[in-house]
Structure 1
Amino acid sequence: MDCWKAVRDKEWVYPTVVLCTYGFFATMKPAEPFLTPYLVGPYKNFTIEQVTNQLFPIWTYSFLAMLIPVFLFTDYLQYKPIIITQGAALVIDYILLLFANGMTAMQYLQFNTGLVSATEVAYYAYIYSVVDAEHYQKVTSYCRSITLTGYTVGSALAQLLISLEAVSYFYLNAISLGSVTVALITSFLLPMPKKSIFFQSSAESSKETTKSNTSNGSLNLKRNIQGSSANPVFLERKQSALDDSLKIKEKTTFLKAILQLWSDFKTSYSSRNLLYWSLWWAIATCGYYQIFNYVQVLWDHIEPSKNFSIYNGGVEALATLTGAITSFGVGYVKLDWSVWGELVLGIFSAVSSASVFMMGITDNIWVCYAGYMIFKASYMLLITITTFNIASNLCMERYALMFGVNNCMALILQTILTIIVVDSRGLGLDIIMQFLIYGSFYALIAGIFLLSGLLTFIYYKLKKKRRNLEEDVIIITLDPPTQQICSSTKL
């Protein structure tokens, strides 16, 4: 029995190691911090306006269009095929960056990158389908930390190679292609899950029903064979009827899962606390995506990469590392988040707003770099707090659902913002005006949550004061012996 328990406990190690290996190589892409200089440089010869207004918006539209279908099919297909799809899409990305030219090819590249982003849900949800619940916290920390490590290593390596003038941007893309190819190969080594998160219960009941129907069908077939001299036409019709029955069962299973998702959605968002954490998640993530996508354009505007030794890779590595440290520190902060949560969101959203405004109005690239590092560390701190508060109040199935819904809302907001502010068919504003709008966006978030947090804090203080007054009245009205007994009991 002890040997069997030891073997069972070790079953989580192999899929975790393989998934972490995949996560490291999928995010260890030295070319990513230098994507904009590569596109506007001699290799692709795009203008900064084309990159800003015609290329990057495609990613937003593609991500939004594919997020919900991928979210549903990820669980239905049990994760591994979607992870393999993501690995293949990453390989296609860097093949296009290396060998394709022209606006059409680069627009397809952005569409394909949207697919990569949409399939990230498979990476973060896969592990819950192959390990026991007792290991969730451990494997989650491993999988998330390894992606931060991979991104940091890739960015630092890129900066080192560029600063030493060892390679050009072209070879950074070649190194990235090698890394994501290793990730794709690794994805095939993942064990196929035996269960899914959303469809598990329905699938199991369907499986039992199918087993019963199949066994009954087999008995009936045997009886009919004996009674009909094994008529081939009859047997074919009978088998066809059984197949149709199985298809109906599968459709019913899918429909039950969708109805369960809708029920979980209504339950999850009926809580006020979960609602405001989700609201911040959606709005702030929308702003984060925009700033992350276009910050290289801003850096190239302030100090053109053709005339200046840029440090994009070093800044991204340091910003990610700082964000990881602040996120790790959240685990040691003891606060009553139901009271202080909104104020914390408001205060750090104000810090984010100030840093984005600083990035937009400065002409000094180092000040802009510093603003970006403050912004990214602040966002990673708050998204960790938000994730923790949502996950601690939900079962794993509902957490995965809220993760998808919140990201979907963020993308809808981002799409609206992109169409109005960035896209050449909208206002098509220059990069400085864009960042001033993003700073105003975070200022609005800060104002909403600071006001709401202040009201929550005042309500908490009044409620506490009223409770203390009621306790004093009860003590005064009690006779001395009872009062002594109550006091002793309380102590």
Structure 2
Amino acid sequence: MLSPDAVRRPPGAVEERRGSVGSECGNRPRWVGHYMPCHASWVGSTVPICIYGFFSMMRPIEPFMTEFLTGTYKNLTTEQVNRQVYPVWTYSTLVFLIPVLLVTDFLRYKPVIILQGLSHITAFVLLLVGSGVRSAQLAFFSYSIAMAADVAYFSYIYSVVQPSHYQRVTSYVKAAILLGYSVGALLGQLLLSLGGVSLYCLAIVTLISVTISLITSLFLPMPKTSLFLKGSLSAQQGSSGEDNQESGSQDAWVKSVTAAKHVGRMFKRLALDFRKCYSSVAMLFFCIWASTGKCGFYQVAGYNQLLWVYMEPGNFTAFNGAVDGISTLSGAAASVAVGHMSLEWSVWGELVLGGFTFLIAGALFLMDRTDNIWISYSCFFLFKTIYMQLSTICTFQIAKTLQRERYALVFGFNSFVGTILQSLLTAIVINTKSLKLTITSQFLIYASYFAAVSLLFTVRGVYTALHMQRPAGSSQTEGDSNLPEASRL
């Protein structure tokens, strides 16, 4: 029986061999004399999004942001930065994350990516020209919008390329952002240490970089359909267009009722998908680590500069950028290595998370207790490398059990939970006036936080390993119940 494409193929069209390059290009017909290379469809979308990711992450001022705010440029105190400025982006990200998550798919990603670029530019313009606590707070408020819009960046590529290219394109996109962050941090270090460039110039370089990313975002192809709704909206609009042609014009009230029904169906489907995605206990625990790990990572990465300024108040240009950049490259290499590890993750994955999270807790504890800046640098290097490795484990364990249109839902919700936890931790540790904890006391709490997460996953990992070490038949049954296939989720 011929496929619809075969029926529509005109005389003279070249029949493509099964399994060839052409078979990966979807169902587009190939005409004699007008052949379009297969990779053109995904390369044209991947190249600009990778360029955008590289320049949006190449921000050489970030490893030295605390010194920029507390130095002669802004004259803020470390207390103001710690308790009044940095918490703004945590709380604001929590406020913006859900609205952005809901409208991103409806707007088809590109407008939200452009908004992210505009927010980056606004943030660094305010840092350059503003003064005082209020200006710094507005800058981090704008920065939080860009943070919340990350969901559009990571989901965009899946809506414009064929599923057969997802793995390759994902690796390119992640490599671009990690390379951009590393280049930015190392560039800032080199300009400060060897070029004698001021922090103000680093902020200007950062502004130029994010401006290039905004210009690049304007050339991104606009997705034809949303990823989650998968064409249901376009189909509804098509039927509405036919009705309009028949009846002339549709009443505004009828249109609003139709739109309300569509939104209702969307939220109903969202609720059903949410229940299905989190019905697996095994996947639920990987999601728990993804959320709790994100909370702890951003808390440490956001305040580690304050600890280093406390340890070495007169030596801010030491090697902040080098440590940040090299640890990012090390984490990326560790993430790649995880993809080549041969391990039965359904049995040992949670135990691996628990054991390596304990190493993170130990690194943070030593980072907090030492007076040597080099030991603190080494601990941060270990912390960031291990976190990126464990985060990769959680990502592919979650992704392999999901259908692709549910990626944005699950990863977006995990990010939202992590931001809630981070906001609670910030409110308790930093903004509780009765506590007034020092920066060293704060890092002791962060180390204890990861120790508690490690204990939870170690206990759960031991239970899972013992419970699944059964004869083949019962193990297979248990594995099927704990780790559903993608078709089931």
CA offset digits 1:164-207 (Å, max 9, x no partner): 14210000000001111111111111111101112334303312
Residue 254 (str. 1) matches residue 263 (str. 2) = yes
Maintained 8 Å contact 2:105/2:227: yes
* Partner-residue secondary structure (3-state), 2:339: helix
Residue 447 (str. 1) matches residue 477 (str. 2) = no
* Partner-residue secondary structure (3-state), 2:72: coil
CA offset digits 1:10-48 (Å, max 9, x no partner): 111112111111111101111111100111101011111
Alignment correspondent of 1:404 = 412
Shift of 1:6: 3.6
CA offset digits 1:409-439 (Å, max 9, x no partner): 1111111111010115463311100100000
Q: For 2:309, which of 297, 300, 307 is the aligned residue?
A: 300
Which protein shows a greater Rg?
Answer: 1
Residue 363 (str. 1) matches residue 393 (str. 2) = no
Maintained 8 Å contact 2:46/2:173: yes
Residue 124 (str. 1) matches residue 154 (str. 2) = yes
Matches of 1:442 and 1:89, distance apart in 2: 32
Q: For 1:197, which of 227, 234, 237 is the aligned residue?
A: 227
Q: Give the share of equivalent positions with the same residue, in percent.
A: 42
Matches of 2:295 and 2:382, distance apart in 1: 17
Q: Any residues of structure 2 matched to 1:337-486 within 5 Å, and which?
A: 337-423=345-431, 425=433, 427-463=435-471
Q: Any residues of structure 2 matched to 1:64-75 within 5 Å, and which?
A: 64-75=94-105
Alignment correspondent of 2:72 = 42
* TM-score of the superposed pair, with normalisation by structure 2: 0.88
* Partner-residue secondary structure (3-state), 2:469: helix
CA offset digits 1:240-269 (Å, max 9, x no partner): 52x433333233222211111111000010
Alignment correspondent of 1:141 = 171
What is the number of equivalent residue pairs in this alignment?
A: 446
Maintained 8 Å contact 2:117/2:210: yes
Matches of 1:5 and 1:431, distance apart in 2: 62
CA offset digits 1:212-262 (Å, max 9, x no partner): 3123214xxxxxxxxxxxxxxxxxxxx352x43333323322221111111
Higher mean C-alpha deviation, range 426-435 or range 386-395: 426-435
Alignment correspondent of 1:336 = 344
The answer for unaligned runs of 5 or more in structure 1 is 219-238, 469-491
Q: For 2:128, which of 98, 113, 116 is the aligned residue?
A: 98
* Partner-residue secondary structure (3-state), 2:161: coil
Residue 272 (str. 1) matches residue 302 (str. 2) = no
Maintained 8 Å contact 1:206/1:250: no
Aligned partner of 1:191: which letter? Answer: P
Q: Any residues of structure 2 matched to 1:104-119 within 5 Å, and which?
A: 104-119=134-149
Aligned CA distance change for structure 1 residues 420 and 38 (closer, same or farther; 3 Å): same
Alignment correspondent of 1:263 = 272
Judging by fraction of residues, say which structure has more helix: 1
Tell me how large the CA RMSD over aligned residues is. Answer: 1.8
Matches of 2:30 and 2:360, distance apart in 1: 52
Maintained 8 Å contact 1:33/1:313: yes
* TM-score of the superposed pair, with normalisation by structure 1: 0.88
Matches of 2:319 and 2:475, distance apart in 1: 57
Matches of 1:435 and 1:401, distance apart in 2: 32
Maintained 8 Å contact 1:206/1:249: no
Matches of 1:133 and 1:115, distance apart in 2: 29
Q: For 2:329, which of 311, 321, 342 is the aligned residue?
A: 321
Maintained 8 Å contact 2:67/2:316: no
CA offset digits 1:284-319 (Å, max 9, x no partner): 111111001001111111111x34542110001110
Maintained 8 Å contact 1:357/1:436: yes
Q: For 1:291, which of 297, 300, 318 is the aligned residue?
A: 300
Matches of 2:439 and 2:428, distance apart in 1: 13
Maintained 8 Å contact 1:75/1:197: yes
